Structure 1
Amino acid sequence: MKTGVFRAAMRDVLAHKARLAMTMLAVLLGTAFVGGTLVFTDTLSDAYLDSAQKSFTGVDVQLRAQRRAGHDTARLVDERLLDRARALPGAASARGVVSGFTALAGKDGEMLGDGWATVGANRGDEDRRYPMAEGRAPRAAGEVAIDAKTAERAGYAVGDTVRLSVSGPVLEERVTGIFHTDDGSVAAGGTLTFFDTRTAQALFAEPGRYNLIELTAKPGTSAEELRRQAQGIVPPGTEALTGARLAAEQADSNAVSVRSLSPVLLACAGIALFVGSFLIVNTFTMLVAQRTRQLALLRAVGASRRQLTGSVLAEAAVVGLAATLAGLVTGTGAGAGVRALLSVTGDTMPDGPLVVAPRTVAICLALGVGVTLLAAWLPARRAAKIPPVAAMSAVHAPRTTRSLVVRDTAGGLLAAGGAALVIAATAMTDGRLPLALGAVLLLVGVIALTPLLSRPLIAAARPALRRFGISGTLAGQNAVRNPRRTAATASALTIGLTLITALTVTGASADKAVRELAGAGVYRADYYVSMANSGPLAPRTEKTLDDLDEVVATSPRREIPALVAGTEQIVVGFRTAVIDQLLEFDFTEGGFAPGDTVVVDEETATANGWRLGDTVEVTWPDGARGALALSGFYRSAFDDGYKVDVSVLDPHLDRPTAPEILVRTADGTSEATKRTLRAALGDSPAIRVQDRQEVADGITGSIALVLNILYGMLALAVVVAVLGVVNTLAMSVHERVREIGLLRAVGLDRRGVRRMVRLESLVISLFGGLLGIGLGVFLGWGIGEIVAAIGIDTWTLVLPWGRLALFVAVSALVGLVAALWPARRAARTDVLTAISAE
């Protein structure tokens, strides 16, 4: 009997290929997204690791400044440490390396390698890791060597003069050589420029000082053994790392943007699969309903409930497996295609084989088949409850209203609880987790309530539908005939538009808040000077700006990691004597004071129970210890932490630098003043001079970029929702073949039938879309209230009416597009065949 039931299930799969096709497509799209994301990230990570390992060929151990809280402590090493490293018993050689950001300009004057590492370093004739392709290594000031990939991209040759900048005025250097390299940063699209050692020290460090030391082990000495030897000679603030550790670190750094995007991509794929689950439930519910007589006959001849449940789940497993395998193949191709596309568009990626890891296959199978089985379980369970006596009448009793009452009650409780949690989260200090939980509960509750909500809301559209005559009247009745099916169809679109609307409202509110914050007096500086790579500016940049007649106040924003009160923190330094002309600190108590003092945000002070006058212990990057007196507490909108005068930081730095300098000018902002500042800094392509508006535009531009990426990914959920609407309408048309035939027989023409189906689809899609937009606005408000609670007083709720109207139009378009095939199919129904159908 088991075999017979299974065979019947397989025959049903083959008999309903067309109806299951859209279910398979929904699962295929979701798993393809997951598989493509994992294949792309694994392939790139593997290629970066391989490339990074080549970069450190011949480097067994490296001595460098310790990194705390993700920041380099900016300590330098000297010749004495280099001599001691050469004397280590396990060291075959030791080489001092000095390097730093180097903006190499192309022939058009624009910086090459923008967005990736653009590095300059020292190189001697004895370095065999970078074999010369042409010419020779630089030996004196005014000479450079560049990597072969950069030379090819920019069209440079030996003897050419190149323009470059190392955080200061533009330098013009002669190319004496072009070399080959497997450096991972160059493979990722960056540039590598070599100077002679003395010139590199003058540009990036100090005479006789290095950023790091590279060691090669003697035969028979392992890298780990050499590292242990080196650890015994390094001074405080310096660490010894093996080449393998450095390669993994560089590979991870180069692939960080891909890795950070991967969870977002996977989340969007999960949303698409979740939306697709509604389509799967709908499909199997309809298939079970259409096979009532067959299933009941199977019960009558001895099939058990478990066997019937298993037969429906077997169909789902076959559909899920086929769709998942197709999705995995599609995703693998998509992952390879994205990498090829990035290479074509100029985003250089390291070469490497396509990686399809076993975990990728396992995850895709678990998700695709698992989601399909879970979604089909309810229809399967319902099929098992069909009594044998139903075989006599061929009609199974419909579900009672009791089940709908239970669903409505549960949905109401979940929606009310979720809404209450969202509202409560807005009053909490950190309400992100309660807000997320409340949003999930609210969304699930509203989805459960959708059958109840569909009747009154769709009924409200009936006056408009009557304008289309009998077709409109019938469309309104059909839309509410099966509220569960209508709800499942609309819910898919509701989920997608809820997320998209919440993102849109949050993004529009953030855009306005940033622009108001820039002009609200918090930022009082007229200009912000920084490096194109967000790295440190040269120390002389501060003096260059100070010496200009147009400038009335400047302050670096210096950052260094330190141990403060026993925890890793970033300490920020300003020129506190003039900071009130450049920034506004909202002090609740005290303020900046001379000497070894510090101000801290109010929240940190409260958490530690600190009062004015208390002291906190500090261990600086050079190992020195001290104590700072608390002189003030301030309220922070976004830039909290420990703030001191630069005179407190500078004694602990070998080479005081800053990633940003704030500038106040006598006449405010103007194009003439900006040109003066840029000219004083050598018109360097590596240095950015931005006014407040440009800084705000940069932040809001980043927000818009992120939103556009998320819109594109969430569009997959909308595509799956379209498939759901198509599927529902197609099944609805199949169920109503006899009814459509009778309508045709009494005078409704084909055009009227098409209009009826299109209007039904339109009203269901608009119902789901409007519900999603409403939920999205509410969640966007909740997110905004939490942001405002952390101190951003300029945050206000912004409803972008134009984009919200566009979403309504998209909902309508989804309905019309989804109805094309079902409407055509309904209109082409043969009248006599339809009337005689059972």
Structure 2
Amino acid sequence: MKSYLSLIPISARVHRRQNRMTQLCIVFAVFMVTAIFSMAEMGARMEQARLTGKHGALAFSDLFGSTLGQTLLATAVFMFFLVLFAGVLMISSSINSSVAQRTRFFGMMRCLGMSRRQVTLFVRLEALNWCKTAVPAGAAAGVLATWGLCAALRFLVGEEFSSIPLFGVSVLGITSGVLVGVITVLLAARAPARQAARVSPIAAVSGNAQPAKAARRAVHPGFFRIETALGIHHAVSARKNLLLMTGSFALSILLFLSFSVLIDFVDHLMPQSAAASDIDITSSDGGNSIDSALLQTLGQMDGVKRVYGRRSCFDVPAGLDGDAALSSTVDLVAFDDFDLEALRKDGLLRRGSDLEAVYGDSSYVLAAWDRYSGWQKGDTILIGGEELTIAGLLQYDPFNSDGLTGGKITLITSGSTFARLTGITDYSLLLIQTTADATDEDVAAIRRIAEESGCTLNDRRDQRNSGTYLAFVSCVYAFLGIITLVTVLNIVNSISMSVSARVKQYGAMRAVGMDGRQVRHMIAAEAFTYAVLGGITGCALGLPLHWVLYDFLIARRFPYAVWRLPAGPLALILCFVIAAALLAACAPSRRICRMPVAETINEL
């Protein structure tokens, strides 16, 4: 051996199994950043090609000066630092536990003459040694994922993604991924390296990571069993380890909540509706002049899956809040039963709305709503001598492009209620959903019948964006799945290594009479302490961050959008955190309980 640095590859081979999770964290961090920046650049190249074809020459810098470019860049940079921060905590926790388990090794090296500076350098170079395989693997996986996503967008989705590059290589994405891998490892190795350098040779050779601290007072179990109290005490007594473990849990929640905002962003950018039509037929005069018999005729034609209609009356005299003089006006829109049910399926109804009361011939209606509206559920409106009650509110006004009511009350009624109030039974708009195998000849036949009836047909089939929506949502869910996987693996690995660093303590407890069940409960209590504290910290930081991102990406672009507590994503990630803590406690518990007491005490 020419130098102590020659031990680094030897140590890597010996501790290959222990280092596997740390390397996997590096791979995931590099992969995520490479894929994020690569997809952002591919999207920018596609947009640049589209704008160049439309406006002529366009510089790449001009694209990032646009609103879309700035949004892509800002989101990618934010995710870069978020992943970097998460990676530092995850990898630092793993390295810290690895150093604690190899205290005797560092102590022996100190006894042989290695200085503190050399120990620090050894730990940092050992961490960088993992990057030799982890960083290229992560970058390659990111490039391959980008190619796969681009191919799926181009061939499966098509539409506006038909010009996206197939095998583009993003220098920005690869460079960002490599930087994340190297910087994350260097930052994560700083604290463990200093910790290893501070260990004295005598203490290290004895097998103790830190000088023994005299217990000033006994652990009081309080309402807990003694093994549960000891597990909680183990978790909170080591402040540095508690900070790293809690931070790992919290960062996982932060990452999950941050990426979940993108789901809401896509929902607002490309709203999907169960009542979305492929063909619209409107009256030539803009009134309710489409014969109701036409609906049955179209419903029996080839290529037609479903036909439903709407009726409307505008500026109808109405009395609000008991105004018998009818000094106000409202707009009335009649929905068929399918259209009404679609409001529920699309989640457009505010909580507490009673949709069932609106069906049939009733005196109940729905009202479009926004945050500036003064009307509420239960308010009454007088129309034509009849009193109508608002049974529910919509999340926004679907009849205005900005989603705001502008102070105008729009009431949605059933067809029967509308006919009773106005005496109108014909339609102003027919909406058609076509079958998957509908042909242009089928649409041409529908057009002929519509034109013979004096109506105008609008073919909207080329405006479908369900494939694009599915592509974006799939990408976001893929990243959420990766985050969840990293969360579970990191928690399992960190708690397992934390327990392994205390093998001697558990051996001593078993020697004085603690049975296997109590050991399992003690380790589970320690794991759940990290989970609870991490969950509280993650919620305290993640929810404000979720609101900030929601405001930046959604609320500023869609005035009707209102932030709500992300109960679903929050409950999901908390369940995964708890499940990960439970899973993390199982393996080390079984391993310690199966080891003989003498072997446990002598374990390094």
Same fold (TM > 0.5): yes
| Aligned-pair CA distance for 1:284 | 2.2
Give the RMSD, CA atoms, in angstroms.
5.6
Counterparts of 1:330-479 in structure 2, within 5 Å, are 330-342=141-153, 345-347=156-158, 349-350=162-163, 353-387=166-200, 395=208, 397-398=210-211, 465-466=224-225, 471-479=227-235
Whichever of the two has the greater Rg, that structure is 1
Letter in structure 2 aligned against 1:727? N
| Matched-pair contact (CA < 8 Å) for 1:308–1:380 | yes
- Change in CA separation of 1:274 and 1:746 when aligned onto 2, cut-off 3 Å: same
- Change in CA separation of 1:398 and 1:726 when aligned onto 2, cut-off 3 Å: farther
Tell me which residue corresponds to 1:484. 240
Residues 1:271 and 2:82 aligned together: yes
Provide Cα deviations, 1:772-823, integer angstroms capped at 9, x if missing partner: 2234455667899999x99x99998855767655554343222113334333
| Aligned-pair CA distance for 1:477 | 3.0
| Matched-pair contact (CA < 8 Å) for 2:106–2:119 | yes
- Change in CA separation of 1:811 and 1:327 when aligned onto 2, cut-off 3 Å: same
Provide Cα deviations, 1:30-67, integer angstroms capped at 9, x if missing partner: 111122234445456657777998xx6xxxxx9xxxxx
- Change in CA separation of 1:263 and 1:327 when aligned onto 2, cut-off 3 Å: farther
Provide Cα deviations, 1:382-417, integer angstroms capped at 9, x if missing partner: 33344556567564655999xxxxxxxxxxxxxxxx
Residues 1:11 and 2:7 aligned together: no
| Matched-pair contact (CA < 8 Å) for 1:489–1:764 | yes
Provide Cα deviations, 1:616-650, integer angstroms capped at 9, x if missing partner: xxxxxxxxxxxxxxxxxxxx979xxxxxxxxxxxx
Tell me which residue corresponds to 2:271. none
Counterparts of 1:157-176 in structure 2, within 5 Å, are none
Q: Which runs of 5+ in 2 are unaligned?
A: 268-275, 291-310, 317-327, 332-370, 374-399, 419-423, 431-453
| Aligned pair partner of 2:250 in 494, 512, 515 | 494
Greater mean deviation of Cα atoms: 284-293 or 16-25: 284-293
Separation in 1 of the partners of 2:251 and 2:229?
Answer: 28
| Matched-pair contact (CA < 8 Å) for 1:770–1:808 | no
Counterparts of 1:603-622 in structure 2, within 5 Å, are none
Identity %: 24
Separation in 1 of the partners of 2:560 and 2:486?
Answer: 38
Separation in 2 of the partners of 1:546 and 1:281?
Answer: 69
Tell me which residue corresponds to 1:629. none
- Change in CA separation of 1:771 and 1:506 when aligned onto 2, cut-off 3 Å: farther
Tell me which residue corresponds to 1:29. 28
Separation in 2 of the partners of 1:666 and 1:747?
Answer: 74
Separation in 2 of the partners of 1:44 and 1:687?
Answer: 24
| Matched-pair contact (CA < 8 Å) for 1:280–1:375 | yes
| Aligned-pair CA distance for 1:297 | 4.4
Residues 1:726 and 2:492 aligned together: yes
Letter in structure 2 aligned against 1:771? T
Residues 1:676 and 2:442 aligned together: no
Separation in 2 of the partners of 1:553 and 1:828?
Answer: 80
| Aligned-pair CA distance for 1:368 | 0.5
Separation in 2 of the partners of 1:493 and 1:11?
Answer: 32
Q: Which runs of 5+ in 1 are unaligned?
A: 57-61, 63-240, 402-458, 512-529, 555-579, 584-635, 639-657, 689-697
Separation in 1 of the partners of 2:410 and 2:589?
Answer: 70
- Change in CA separation of 1:496 and 1:343 when aligned onto 2, cut-off 3 Å: same
SS, match of residue 682 in structure 1? strand
Q: TM-score, normalised by structure 2?
A: 0.58
SS, match of residue 355 in structure 1? coil
Separation in 1 of the partners of 2:552 and 2:39?
Answer: 35
Separation in 1 of the partners of 2:482 and 2:19?
Answer: 19
Separation in 2 of the partners of 1:677 and 1:665?
Answer: 19
Residues 1:763 and 2:529 aligned together: yes
- Change in CA separation of 1:776 and 1:291 when aligned onto 2, cut-off 3 Å: closer
SS, match of residue 288 in structure 1? helix
Letter in structure 2 aligned against 1:815? A
Tell me which residue corresponds to 1:303. 114
Separation in 2 of the partners of 1:360 and 1:780?
Answer: 25
Tell me which protein shows more helix as a share of its residues. 2
Tell me which residue corresponds to 2:307. none
SS, match of residue 303 in structure 1? coil
| Matched-pair contact (CA < 8 Å) for 2:259–2:480 | no
Residues 1:329 and 2:130 aligned together: no
Separation in 2 of the partners of 1:351 and 1:464?
Answer: 62
Separation in 1 of the partners of 2:106 and 2:402?
Answer: 73
Provide Cα deviations, 1:485-542, integer angstroms capped at 9, x if missing partner: 122112122133246568989999xx9xxxxxxxxxxxxxxxxxx9999xxx9xx999
Separation in 1 of the partners of 2:116 and 2:105?
Answer: 14
- Change in CA separation of 1:369 and 1:532 when aligned onto 2, cut-off 3 Å: farther
* Larger RCO, structures 1/2 (Cα 8 Å, 6+ apart): 2
Residues 1:314 and 2:125 aligned together: yes
Residues 1:286 and 2:97 aligned together: yes
| Aligned-pair CA distance for 1:279 | 2.2
Provide Cα deviations, 1:675-727, integer angstroms capped at 9, x if missing partner: 72215863534399xxxxxxxxx9xxx99999997676455444333333222
| Aligned-pair CA distance for 1:751 | 4.9
| Aligned pair partner of 1:831 in 588, 591, 597 | 597
Separation in 2 of the partners of 1:582 and 1:659?
Answer: 19
| Aligned-pair CA distance for 1:318 | 1.0
Provide Cα deviations, 1:247-292, integer angstroms capped at 9, x if missing partner: 989x979x99899557546644542332221122222223333344
Separation in 2 of the partners of 1:307 and 1:674?
Answer: 89
Counterparts of 1:247-262 in structure 2, within 5 Å, are none
| Aligned-pair CA distance for 1:25 | 0.9
Tell me which residue corresponds to 2:501. 735
| Matched-pair contact (CA < 8 Å) for 1:726–1:822 | no
Separation in 1 of the partners of 2:401 and 2:562?
Answer: 31
Separation in 2 of the partners of 1:376 and 1:767?
Answer: 24
| Matched-pair contact (CA < 8 Å) for 1:275–1:495 | yes
| Matched-pair contact (CA < 8 Å) for 1:766–1:815 | no
| Aligned-pair CA distance for 1:335 | 1.6
- Change in CA separation of 1:378 and 1:347 when aligned onto 2, cut-off 3 Å: same
| Aligned-pair CA distance for 1:728 | 2.4
Provide Cα deviations, 1:203-226, integer angstroms capped at 9, x if missing partner: xxxxxxxxxxxxxxxxxxxxxxxx
| Aligned-pair CA distance for 1:315 | 0.8
Separation in 2 of the partners of 1:493 and 1:266?
Answer: 22
Separation in 2 of the partners of 1:342 and 1:507?
Answer: 17
Provide Cα deviations, 1:145-178, integer angstroms capped at 9, x if missing partner: xxxxxxxxxxxxxxxxxxxxxxxxxxxxxxxxxx
- Change in CA separation of 1:774 and 1:36 when aligned onto 2, cut-off 3 Å: closer
- Change in CA separation of 1:713 and 1:794 when aligned onto 2, cut-off 3 Å: same
| Aligned-pair CA distance for 1:733 | 2.7
Q: TM-score, normalised by structure 1?
A: 0.44
